[in-house]
A and B are shown apart, each in its own frame.
Chain A
C-alpha cells in the first residue's frame, strides 16, 4: 500500500517571499504524483503532476515541483507568493500497475498555506 506525508500542516509566509511545501511518499511500486489546491468552500484543482520524464515539473500559477526518487519526495515550490495563494494544498499519489487498475488517489493530510501582507 502507498502513503503520503505532508510534513507541515500549516505554513505561514509573507507576500512575495518564496515557499516550499513538503511531500514525502511511500510505495513499493512506481507512482504518479500530483499536487492539488483547494480554495475555501471549493473542490480540488490540479496544480501539476509528475508522470515520467523530467523531474522538474511546472504547473499553473507559477508553482513547480521536483520529483526525487531517492528521497521519495515531491516538494512544491513557488519563488514569490501572493495573497491569493492562500489555500490548502494536497499532495497525492496514484500507483502504476499493469492492466486496467483504475484510478484511485491517496492523499496527504494537506498543508494550509497562509500568505500574510
Chain B
C-alpha cells in the first residue's frame, strides 16, 4: 500500500498570503489529522477529519481551517499568513473507527516558510 502523501513538500509564501496544503491518506483510511511542528512549540495537534466532518480541533486560531473530501483526501488552509506560521505541517491517517488506540501513520510533511 502507498503511504500518506502530502503536497507540496516545500512552500515559500509572504506574510498576508494564504496557503493550501493537501494530504492523501493511506487507501482505506478514513481519518486524517493535521499537526504543526515548530522548533519552539514542538508537535501540536491542529484538527482531525472523519467522513468529511471535523471531529476534533486543537487550540489554533480561526485562520487555520481544513476540510475533507468524500475520497478521504484532506486539505488545510492557512489565511493571512504570519511569520510564526513557518513550520513543518504533518498529516496523519488512521482507519477512523473512532478509537484512540488506533495507530496514526504520518506523511513526510510540507515545510512552509513565511517571509
Residue of B nearest to A50 (CB): B101
Q: Judge whether B90 and A97 touch: CB under 8 Å.
A: no
* A94 proximity list for chain B (CB < 8 A): 100-101
In the complex, how many angstroms separate the beta carbon of A31 from the nearest chain B beta carbon? Answer: 8
Q: Which of B11-19, B40-48, B62-70, B76-84 contacts A (4 or more CB under 8 A)?
A: B40-48
Q: Judge whether B55 and A105 touch: CB under 8 Å.
A: no
Task: Tell me the complex Cα distance, A96–B102, Å.
Answer: 11
State the interface size on chain A (CB cutoff 8 A): 29
* A42 proximity list for chain B (CB < 8 A): 108-109
Task: Tell me the complex Cα distance, A26–B99, Å.
Answer: 20
* A44 proximity list for chain B (CB < 8 A): 90, 92, 106
Q: Judge whether B96 and A43 touch: CB under 8 Å.
A: no
Q: Judge whether B100 and A101 touch: CB under 8 Å.
A: yes
Tell me the A40-54 residues at the B interface (CB within 8 Å): 41-46, 49, 51
Q: Judge whether B33 and A103 touch: CB under 8 Å.
A: yes
State the interface size on chain B (CB cutoff 8 A): 29
In the complex, how many angstroms separate the beta carbon of B14 from the nearest chain A beta carbon? Answer: 23
* A14 proximity list for chain B (CB < 8 A): none
Say yes or no: A96-B101 contact (C-beta < 8 A), given A43-B4, A43-B106, A102-B56. Answer: yes
* A25 proximity list for chain B (CB < 8 A): none
Say yes or no: A43-B100 contact (C-beta < 8 A), given A102-B31, A103-B31, A107-B43. Answer: no
Q: Which residue of the partner chain, among A41, A92, A103, contacts B56 with CB atoms under 8 Å? A: A103
Residue of A nearest to B48 (CB): A102
Residue of A nearest to B58 (CB): A104
Q: Which of A94, A100, A103, A106 has the most CB of B within 10 A?
A: A103
14 contacts between A and B (CB under 8 A): A46-B105, A51-B101, A97-B100, A102-B31, A102-B55, A102-B98, A104-B56, A104-B58, A105-B43, A106-B45, A108-B42, A109-B42, A110-B42, A110-B43
Interface pairs A-B: 8 shortest CB-CB: A100-B98, A107-B43, A43-B106, A44-B106, A102-B55, A94-B100, A102-B56, A43-B108
B residues near A (Cβ < 8 Å) are 4, 31, 33, 35, 42-45, 48, 50, 55-56, 58, 90, 92, 94, 96, 98-109
